[in-house]
Structure 1
């Protein structure tokens, strides 16, 4: 029996791809689903109303309290608290012109406030905590506040956000609310004040006025060089996304999903895709206080020993850290795979060695093949445009268009640039008409800036492969195109387990170079002769690590021409900086920002007389 046959036997509840491809005279192609989207819900608040009525005692949200126990909230309790909070919000003169800004990590209180605002047509905007907690000048945050002009700012705990609040004080006239985790509430309204009374009639009156075109929330793009753009996400965008998900993932209708998730609600992956899947299908969301960082991944492992998810969503960096823990801890491995039906990755392709490891451990632990899948989209599409709702032939397959969405594939250099149109696509950036005009082509397709290729041009139903950002690719001085996305993936495979991530250099140079962010834990494991307190500089200069990199470079060279391998490489001592925009909230490397911020290292990499940091073949 093949892996595909085993998959079909154990996990049959996905829609077969049904695709129509149209070739146009101008060389572009239109790719659509043959499945009609049909009607979708009016607004996301209908989901909370439904489950609070049909399953009031079902667990909705759970988070760790100060003692490490799980604090729990049912759908019935959640709706009761949402009505109270919404009652207070109605009295604060809030609107899309005076929205709610949330400065907080994911929490039950964060979810209640966000949901209550959306219940009465007031857009919330969860801003990345990094903009407040990791910045010294808060320039990005100030720009975001000046653009939104909020009527209410929630901060939790407020003392952690005091430096940020002080720096933006002259940029707004908003009421400030201190979250319940705050130790002091000076000059702020305690969150408890928001729940002192309930006016259900007034709240439901506002709720009934919501339409699919109502702005549900604002999300900022993850741009890092300039002030990020504010994207209005309408109820139509959110609800059409979940309707499409229902059609391509019928398994969601079979049993309420159970999820453990760390992905931030300031980003569309965690805040729209994952949060809304749980709410739409009456599932349970455990808030993971861990993250894919060396300091916090053990918390994720601890939580997974107690929570066996039915679907697991994360990014490749997280799986890179989780796989070694799964291998060595049988208790963790059994708990992780006990109920798991789907492993989902996004933000970047999953390296093949991680894919194989997850498949092997799933088969050994549960006796079944696991569905490993992905999708593709952006903040501007809320987020899904494509979904791989079928067994992929390899990592990097982003699937086919979801029902209701049309992709336009446009030849660009030697790639296919992809553009999008559908009910999931935004209408324009908030108060930035020039950027809005630049974002759409003359047929109204959103120009997302990504490239794709067919797995098999003769069989479009096999899906598309993500082919990198159009703006990331470059030419060598020889005129040869370098495809950064595919080269990065190949490099990570060759460098495994030493490389955590790679930035590709070589624009207007003769040769390609790699700036390598090392996997410190794996590097230490490979160098047992070094003391535990050896510095990172000592570690990355160790002959075992340097030799590993050199061998990886030779492996890549043996596979192809000058555009497929690095002639030189450098292991970086400093990790990617969230504050400087080198890495996003979802742990994805911003190639351009790293190259800009570390321009001196790029020059050192290509210096005629290079120092000992530069590794050559």
Structure 2
């Protein structure tokens, strides 16, 4: 608006329509699902993207494999960043002057502080360790409207906001988001991060996208279930997918069930609603169908 730019305003994301519009556009602000679907489109080429200046991804972590595949197909490295309703933008990969690293959301913006801590104690963790992401800066909101108890519970005494996200700082100071704390699966005492399994499943040629969740289990407390959307004209089987990922995962991380569905539930921002999936499959191992 400030620049006087025009916009192609679409009622919903349709991969054919978006690819058709790329030659007449310069910037695409997207969520990971956009890129997951675009990268498998046969008309996504460097020529199609010749007028594009910037592809941005946010709202949820983008799989490193999709980042790499998109760059290989188009010559464009997606600019991934990290923000929240409560904070605005926190971190970003560089627009220029540095690498856009697959699997990361970049470094803190000027004036913004990011730290990774033990969620229970608030103790800062060494780089490379996964923990709770916290942020402090002028971008952070002052609190929830007329909800003082919730506000108090989500701020540390030193002013850091507890985001609810899990991540780590890599060797270059880039933030890597592993997932939401509520999406962490604890099975038999082991922590399992869904993103690791999703990345392997999505690499299968018969898979369009996947979502990995934890559901109640009588022996392990929780166990892993994979919900998979097949690629067009494909019919992946549970056995095929489990064999495909088996060598790259510790045994305790293997999904105990795979469900193939037409689409994943999403909100208006395009984020997968894992709470809906957990509700749908909550009795898989404990109910009448166990």
Q: What TM-score results when the alignment is normalised by the length of structure 2?
A: 0.83
Q: CA 1:401 to 1:343, structure 2 compared with 1: closer, same or farther past 3 Å?
A: same
Following superposition, the deviation at residue 451 of structure 1 comes to 1.6
Q: Which residue of 2 aligns with 1:314?
A: 30
| Equivalenced residues, count | 277
Structure 2 residue 273 is matched with structure 1 residue 545: no
Indicate yes or no: 2:18 matched with 1:284. Answer: no
| Cα distance in 1 between the residues matched to 2:257 and 2:87 | 38
CA distance change for structure 1 residues 576 and 345 in 2, over 3 Å: closer, same or farther?
same
Show CA shifts across 1:497-520 (max 9, x none). 42422132355554843342414x
Deviations 1:53-94 (A, max 9, x none): xxxxxxx5xxxxxxxxxxxxxxxxxxxxxxxxxxxxxxxxxx
Q: Deviation digits for residues 402-441 of structure 1, max 9, x if unmatched?
A: 1011123212477321111111110011222222222211
Equivalent residue for 2:163, pick from 448, 460, 463: 448
Q: 1:342 to 1:427 in 2, by over 3 A?
A: same
CA separation of 1:469/1:375 partners in 2, compared to 1, >3 Å: closer, same or farther? same
The structure-2 alpha-carbon separation of the partners of 1:409 and 1:324, relative to structure 1 and needing over 3 Å to count, comes to closer
Provide the residue aligned with 2:194 in structure 1.
Answer: 484
Greater percentage in strand: 2
- What TM-score does the superposition give when structure 1 sets the normalisation length? 0.41
Q: Point out where structure 1 has 5 or more consecutive residues left out of the alignment.
A: 1-59, 61-278, 364-369, 527-543, 578-582, 608-617
Residue 358 of structure 1 is matched in structure 2 by 70
Q: Give a deviation string over 1:189-215, Cα, whole Å, max 9, x none.
A: xxxxxxxxxxxxxxxxxxxxxxxxxxx
Q: Cα RMSD between the aligned structures?
A: 2.7
Bigger Cα Rg: 1
Displacement of 1:604: 6.9
1:448 CA drift (Å): 0.7
Q: How does 1:39-438 map to 2 (within 5 A)?
A: 60=1, 279=2, 282-292=3-13, 296-305=14-23, 307-309=24-26, 311-325=27-41, 327-328=42-43, 334-335=47-48, 337-363=49-75, 370-382=76-88, 384-389=89-94, 390-393=98-101, 395-412=102-119, 415-438=130-153
The CA deviation at 1:350 is 2.7
Change (3 A) 1:490 1:347: farther
| Structure ranking higher on relative contact order (CA contacts 8 Å, 6+ apart) | 1
Tell me how far 1:379 sits from its aligned partner. 0.2
Measure how far apart 1:312 and its partner are.
2.0
| Contact 1:504–1:514 (8 Å) recurs in 2 | yes
Structure 2: 5+ residue stretches without partners? 121-128
1:584 corresponds to? 267
